[in-house]
Amino acid sequence: MPFVLTPLPYAKNALEPVISERTMSFHYDKHHRGYVDKLNKLTATTPFALAALEDVIVRTWSKPDHTKIFNNAAQVWNHDFFWRSMTPGGGHAALGGTLQKRIETDFGSYESFEESFIAGAVDHFGSGYAWLVEEAGRLSIVATQDAIPPIVLGLRPLLACDLWEHAYYLDHQNDREKFVRGFLDKLANWSYAQEQLSAKHAAPPSQHPEARL
């Protein structure tokens, strides 16, 4: 069973105006689909073809012979996670409950969390992702380079923002800050982040092992 392009959880125009339908079409139909297709080609005749996506990522991480498989597998996982990190009607107004308390405890206030997340995203050089993660019972923000997901760094991801230029350039050109601010203000999916926090262990958002049998 090949790796699949997981359906988007909302319509392609649902995240406007922060992310336009045009950006979603390129990002999902070209970039994300491209990673899935390439991963299937690269793994077709290898034992990785039957492995769970997360296992492929962990087993190819930091292995010079498997850089291409790692990059494409991680990008499939990252995009599955990124799409679910957003929802129409999300953002600051949708934050509440346990997670709001955790953010206030670990960052001091929502405003300092927001400023740290934006600074981490804006200061990140080149392509990658900004993540809200949990490590040893504490929330923090990390930016990872290129395709690297927090799961290979021993961190539990709660929320992801794609910082590759393909994520925002058509809508905001070079203004990464405006894009990331819009992501937090209007789109952040706090229910999804809460699910990740409550889960027994960090799980991929799709393509669970049972789906690979």
Q: Which is nearer to Mn ion, 30 or 41 (CB)?
A: 30
The CB-of-79 to Mn ion minimum distance in angstroms stands at 6
**Residue number, 139 or 151, with CB nearest to Mn ion:** 151
Q: Which helix (H) or strand (E) holds 132?
A: strand 128-135
Taking the alpha carbons at both ends of the chain, their separation in whole angstroms is 7
For residues 54 and 162, which CB has a smaller minimum distance to Mn ion in the complex? 162
Asked if 186 and 18 count as a contact pair (C-beta separation under 8 A), the reply is yes
Report which residue's Cβ sits closest to Mn ion. 162
Nearest CB to Mn ion, comparing residues 142 and 163: 163
Residue 164 near Mn ion by CB under 5 A: yes
Which stretch, 113-121, 149-157, 160-168, 199-207, contacts Mn ion (CB under 5 A)? 160-168
Residue 162 binds to Mn ion (criterion: CB under 5 A): yes
Identity of residue 96: G
- Give how far the C-alpha of residue 164 lies from the chain's centroid of Cα atoms, to the nearest Å: 11
Of 99 and 147, CB closest to Mn ion: 147
Contacting range for Mn ion; rule: CB under 5 A; set: 103-111, 121-129, 146-154, 161-169:
161-169
For residue 85, the Cα-to-chain-centroid distance in whole angstroms is: 7
Q: CB of 82: closest distance to Mn ion in angstroms?
A: 7
What's the distance, CA 7 to chain centroid?
A: 15
Residue 5 is given by DSSP the state -
- Among residues 194 and 204, whose Cβ is nearest to Mn ion? 204
Instruction: Confirm if 59 and 48 have CB atoms less than 8 A apart.
Output: yes
CB of 85 to Mn ion, least distance (A): 12
Question: SS3 string of 158-183?
Answer: EEEEECCHHHCHHHHCCCHHHHHHHH
Counted residue by residue, the chain has a size of 213
Q: Could you tell me the smallest distance in angstroms from the CB atom of residue 27 to Mn ion?
A: 6
Bridge partners (DSSP) of residue 129 are 144, 162
Candidate ranges 40-48, 123-131, 156-164, 169-177; the one touching Mn ion (CB under 5 A) = 156-164
From 10-18, 37-45, 114-122, 155-163, give the range in contact with Mn ion by CB under 5 A.
155-163
Alpha-carbon gap, residue 145 to 207, rounded angstroms: 23
Q: Applying CB under 5 A, does 192 fall inside the site for Mn ion? A: no
Residues that bind Mn ion (CB under 5 A): 162, 164
